Structure 1
C-alpha cells in the first residue's frame, strides 16, 4: 500500500514539480557527460604529449566533479525543502487518517528512492546519448583522428554518477525523515495559512548599508581594473574578491528593505493595473530571499566570467599559432655555465665543457645528425650584461614604473641582439627588417602589457651604455617582433644594437633555428621524438644543456590547455547556471502555490486572465532578473580583469565568447524562467 501511495504521489506531483525532476535528470546527465571524457578519448589517435594533456584534463575534471557534487547536493536538498513545505497539509491529512510519522517517513523514503532511480535512469540515458556528440566535440577540439569512432559507454562514469547521486539521495532521505519527525499535526494542517515572517527594516539603516556596500563594491571594481597593478602578489587578489562577496550581500539586504518604496515613488506606474499587487509580492520575495539572491548573483557572475574568458582563451591559444611559431625547431643553450643548477647541485665537468661548444656540435656529439634531420639551419647568439638592465633601458621612467608595478624586477639584465642576427631571424619569421645607424638602438617586443612601458621610455629618448659607448633610440616606439616561438605574445623586450656594440665576453646563449628535413607528418614525428629525448627541458633528463621548443609541442600544448580550460569553464558554468535557475524556479513555484487564494480573490473582484497572467509574468521576470542585473554589472569589471591576463595571448576581443555566454544564459536561465511561468500559470488556474 505504501508503494502504491508513493507511486500515486509521484504521478500526481510530476506536473507541478516538473522543474525539480528536470533538474535532477539534467544534473545526472551533465555529471555523467563530463566524467565520461576519459572513455571518449581512448579511441583517439593522438600523440603521447596530447595524451598526457588529456589525462591531466580528466584528473582536473574529476576534482571539479567533487565541487559539482556538493553544488548539486545543496540544490537537491534545497529543492526538497521547498517540496516538503508544499506538502505540509497533505502530511497533516495522512496523520489525521491515522498514519504514524514512521509510516509517513516510509512513504517519503519510498518516494525519494523511486525518484532517484527514475532520475538516474533517465539522466544516464540522456548522458550516454550526449556523450557520443561530446566525443566528436572533444576530437575536434584536440584535432584528433576519429576514423576509429565507435559507440562509447563509460562504466566508470556511470558508477561514479551512481555513487555521488546515491549519497545525495540518502542525505535527502535523512532530511525528509527528520523533517517529518519534528512536525506537529496542528502545524501541518495550518501551515498554508501562515505567511513567512517579514521583519521590517529601518529605511535609514538600509540606506546606510546600501551606500557602504556600493562604496566597497566600487573599490573592488577599481582594484580589478585601474588598480590591478596593486594586486602584485597572489594573496592580494582575495581582497577584491572578499569585498565583492560581502558588498553583494549588503546590497541585496539593503535594497530588499526599500525596494517597495522606490516603486511607490512613481505613483502613476505603481497604481497602474495590478502593479500594486505584483510589486508587493516581489518586495516580499526580496525580503525573504536575501541570502539566496546573493548566492545566485555570485554564481551567475562566476558563470559569465568563466564562460567568457574560457572560450576566449581557447580562441586565443590557437589563433596566432602559425604566426608565432613559424619554424619547426628552436634550441637554445646557456653559454659558459657558472654557479649551480636549478636544483642547487653544481654542474659537472661534462656540463661545463658542453657550454663552450655550439648547439650544432652538441647535437653531433649526441649522435643527432643536423645535416640529415634539419634544413634551413640558422645559428646566432644572445648577449646579456649587468651593465644594461631593464631599469637602465627605462631610464628616468623607471621610478614611475616601480611605483605602478613594484613586482617588476628592474635589475634584470636585458636580452641584446646584433642587428645582423635579428634581421636573419626577422626574415625567417616574415617580420620587417630593421635599420640602425651608429650609436642607435631599437627595442623589439610584442607583449602588449610591456609595450606601453617601453614606448614611454623611448619617447623620453632614453640613452643606454654598452662597452663605454652611448646609444640613443632610432625610433620612439617598440617594433613588433620576437625570437622564441610560442603560443602567445610573450616577448617583453629585446634590445637590438649595431654589430660592434657587443663582444663575445657578453655572450649568454647560443641559439639554433631550423625546420625538419622530413616532409610527411610521420617522419617529422620521428625527428620530434629525437629532439625531445635530447632536451632536458621536456623530459628532465640530465643529458645536455639544451632547451628545445618545437612547433609540434607548442601546437599540442596550446590546443590541450585551451581545451582543458574551456571544458572546465563550461562544466562549472553550466552547473552554476542550472543551480541558480532551478533555485529561483522552485522558490517561485512554491510562492505561486501559496498565492492560489490571492489570485482566486482577484478573479472574484473581476480581474481578467490576461491581467493576471501579465502580473504573474512581471513578478517572475523581476525575481529572475534582479540577481542577473547585479551579476552582469559585476561581469563588466570581472571580464576587464580577465583581459589583463588574456593580453599575453594576443586576444582581447571577448565579443564572440560573450555572445556564446549570452546564448547559454538565454537558453538555460531564460528557459527555466519561461517553464516557471507556464507551470505557475497552470497551477494558479486549477
Structure 2
C-alpha cells in the first residue's frame, strides 16, 4: 500500500518531479564524469602530466562532494514541500507517523536511485563525448582512459545513496515534529518584514562593512596568508545575508512609495509579491550569490590557469628550442620550425670539471640571462648578456645558466666555465660538442615540432639533465598541473552553476501552487494575461538578477585572491562572464516557463 501511495504521489505531480529529476540527473552525471577521471589510477599514473594533476583531481572530488551534498539538500527541501499537504491529509485520515516515515523513505530513495541511475548513464555518454577534448586540454595520452569506469559508478551510487538516506531521515524527522495544520497551510504562511527602518539601515551598514572586510582579506592574501580565506568567507557570508535581508526590503518599500512608478500596470503587485516572502528568500538569495561567485570564479580562474600555461613556459625558459645534436633527424625536425627569429650554434668541450667555450661565439651572439621575479619567471622580458667580459659580474648565476644548456654536466657547484680563443679551443683534448638555440616568433604554433624535437633529444640523451632547458618540457609540466587546475575550474564552475540555478528554481517553484490562487483572482478581475506574464518575468528577473549582480561583485574582488597564483587573474575575463551569464539566463527562461505553466493554468 505504501508503495502505491508513493508511486501515485509521484504520478500526480509528475511535472514537478520532472524538474526535480532533471536537476538530480545533472548533478549525478557531473559527479560521475569527474570521478571517472579522479578515481582512474591507471590513467593518471601512466601519464606524466596526469600524475602531476592527481592531487588536484582528488581535491576537486572532495569539493564536488560538498557542493553536491548542499545541492541535494535543497532539492530534498523542494521534494518535501511538494508532499507536505498530502502527508498531512494521510495523517488526518489516521495514518501513523511511522507509516508516513516509511512513505517518505520509499519516495526519497526511489527518486534518488532512479535519478542517480539515469545520471550515471548520461554521465557515461557525456564522458565519452568530452573525453577527447579533455585529454587534449590536459596534454596527456588517451591510454587507459575509459568513459565506462566501474569504480566511478560504485562511488557515485554509494555517495548518492548515502546522501538520499540522510535526506529521507531528515524529512521524516521534520514531518514528525510539525503539527498537521502547519503542514496543511505551510505555503500560506507569509514572511512579512516587520523590522524597523532604523534596524534595516543598521543591517545595511553592517552588511556593507562585512563585505568590505571580506574583499580586503582576499586582496591582502600575501600579508594574511592562510587566515585570509576564513576571514573572507565568514565576512562575505554575513555581508551577503544582511545586504539581502535589509537592502532589498528598503528598496522595495521606496519603490512602492513612488506612486508614479508603483501604480503603473502591475508593478505594485509585483513588488508586493517579492516583499511577501522576502525573509524566506533571504537565505536562498545570499546562498545563490555566493555559489554564483564560486561558479563564475572557478571558471574564470580555470581559464586563467589554461591561458597562463604557454605564458609561464615563455617566461620560464629563455630559448624556445635547444638542440644538442647535429644528426640528420635533428636537422630535419628543426627545419620544420616556423617563424625562426634567431638560430645560434655554440661549441664547447668538457674536460673533467672544466667546460670550455669559444669566446668569439659569445662576443658575436651572447647567451641571454633573464632577470626573474619573485615567482621565478622572466620579468618583463629583461635580459642580461653573458659574454666573456660580463662573466665576472655574476659568475655563479651565469655559470648555472650555461651548464643548463650543455650536455653531460650536472655538478653546478664544482664546474668551472672557461672562455678561450678558437686556436686554443682546437688544441684542447676531448670531442667538440654543440648546442643550438632557437628563438621563435610564436612558440604555440610550433608546439607539435617542439614536442618531436624534445622526444628525439630524449632518445639521444636518455641519462642527461637537459630537460630543464627545454621550453616544451616546462610547457608539458605546467600543462599537467595547471591543465588539471583549469579542468577542475571549468568542471566545478559548471557544477556550481547547474546546482545554484536549480536550487533557486526549486525554491521559486515550491511556492508556485499557492501563487496560483492570486493569479487566478487577477484574471477574474479582468487583468490581461500579457500583464500577468510581464509581472511574473519581472519578479523572477529580480530573484535571479540580485544574487547574480552581487556574485559578480564577489568575483571581481575575489580574483585578487589569485594574484599569488596567476600572472594576471583578470586577463580575458569578459569571455567567461558572458558565457556564464548566457547559461544563467537560460535557467531563468526555463524557470519562467515552468512557473507560468503552474500559475497561469486553471
User: What per-residue deviation string (whole Å, max 9, x for no partner) do you get for residues 401-430 of structure 1?
Assistant: xxxxxxxxxxxxxxxxxx96795114xx9x
Deviates more, 1:102-111 or 1:561-570: 102-111
Corresponding residue for residue 492 of structure 2: 572
- CA gap of 1:492–1:219, structure 2 versus 1, over 3 A, is farther
Distance 1:379 1:38 in 2: 52
Distance 1:150 1:53 in 2: 14
Q: 1:570 to 1:421 in 2, by over 3 A?
A: farther
Tell me the CA shift for residue 36 of structure 1.
0.6
Answer whether contact 1:308 1:654 (CA < 8 A) is retained.
no
Aligned equivalents of 1:242 and 1:100: distance in 2?
Answer: 43
Mapped partners of 1:243, 1:291: distance in 2:
15
Partner of 1:102: 98
C-alpha change, 1:360 and 1:216, in structure 2 (3 Å) is farther
1:392-431 correspondence runs (5 A): 424-426=366-368
What residue in structure 1 maps to residue 582 of structure 2?
A: 666
- In structure 1, the partner of 2:327 is none
Q: What are structure 1's unaligned runs of at least 5 residues?
A: 332-357, 365-369, 371-376, 381-418, 430-443, 451-485, 539-547
* Greater mean alpha carbon deviation, residues 153-162 or residues 114-123: 114-123
- Which stretch shifts more, 236-245 or 588-597? 236-245
Report the counterpart of residue 615 of structure 1 in structure 2.
Answer: 535
Conserved? CA contact 1:37–1:58, under 8 Å: no
Provide the C-alpha distance between the structure 1 equivalents of 2:513 and 2:110, rounded to a whole number of angstroms.
24
Alignment of 1:241-280 (within 5 A): 241-280=233-272
* Cα pair 1:16 1:683 within 8 Å, conserved: no
Q: For 2:92 and 2:575, how far apart are their aligned partners in 1? A: 56
Q: Partners in 1 of 2:293 and 2:158 — Cα distance?
A: 30
1:171: how far off? Answer: 0.5
Distance 1:196 1:236, change over 3 A: same
Which position in structure 1 is the counterpart of 2:19?
19
Between the aligned partners of 1:638 and 1:260, the Cα distance in structure 2 is 29
Contact 1:82 1:590 in 2 (8 A): yes
Superposition TM-score, scaled by structure 1 size: 0.69
Question: Secondary structure at the residue paired with 1:289?
Answer: helix
Q: Please state if 1:526 is matched with 2:468.
A: no
Instruction: Say yes or no: does 1:593 pair with 2:513.
Output: yes
What is the aligned counterpart of 2:571 among 654, 661, 674?
Answer: 654
1:214-229 paired onto structure 2 within 5 Å? 214-218=208-212, 220-221=214-215, 228=220
Higher helix share: 2
Could you tell me how far apart the structure 1 residues matched to 2:243 and 2:504 are?
19
CA contact (8 A) 2:221 2:228 kept: no
Q: Does 1:77 align with 2:73?
A: yes
Q: Equivalent residues in 2 for 1:546-565 (5 A)?
A: 548-565=468-485
SS at match of 1:595: helix
- Which one of the candidate residues 496, 504, 524 is aligned to 1:584? 504
Paired residue secondary structure (2:192) = coil
Find the aligned partners of 2:297 and 2:485 in 1 and give their Cα distance: 13
- Cα gap change, 1:90/1:219 in structure 2, threshold over 3 Å: closer, same or farther? closer
Within 2, Cα distance between the matches of 1:525 and 1:272? 76
Say yes or no: does 1:8 pair with 2:8: yes
Deviation digits for residues 459-517 of structure 1 (CA, Å, limit 9, x no counterpart)? xxxxxxxxxxxxxxxxxxxxxxxxxxx8x545897766996677499645443225589
Q: What corresponds to 1:209 in structure 2? A: 203
Which one is further off, 268-277 or 104-113? Answer: 104-113
Displacement of 1:676 after TM fit? 1.5
CA, structure 1 residues 56+284, in 2 after alignment: closer, same or farther (shift >3 Å)?
farther
8 Å Cα contact 1:39-1:152 kept in structure 2: no
Once the 2 structures are TM-superposed, how far is the Cα of residue 658 of structure 1 from its aligned partner? 3.5
**Cα distance 1:359–1:267, how it changes in 2: closer, same or farther (>3 A)?**
farther
RMSD after superposition: 3.8
Q: What is the TM-score of this pair, normalised by structure 2? A: 0.78
CA separation in 2, counterparts of 1:492 and 1:217?
Answer: 38
Paired residues, what number? 533
Shift of residue 220 of structure 1? 4.8
Q: Deviations over 1:258-306 (max 9, x none)?
A: 1322322432221111111111111233332222222221121122222
**Matched-pair contact (CA < 8 Å) for 1:40–1:152:** no
* Alpha-carbon contact 1:6-1:111 (below 8 Å) kept: yes
CA contact (8 A) 1:446 1:492 kept: no
Within-5 A mapping of 1:350-365 = 360-361=350-351
1:112-163 Cα deviation digits (max 9, x unpaired): 22211210111011000011123201221133455x7986310011011011
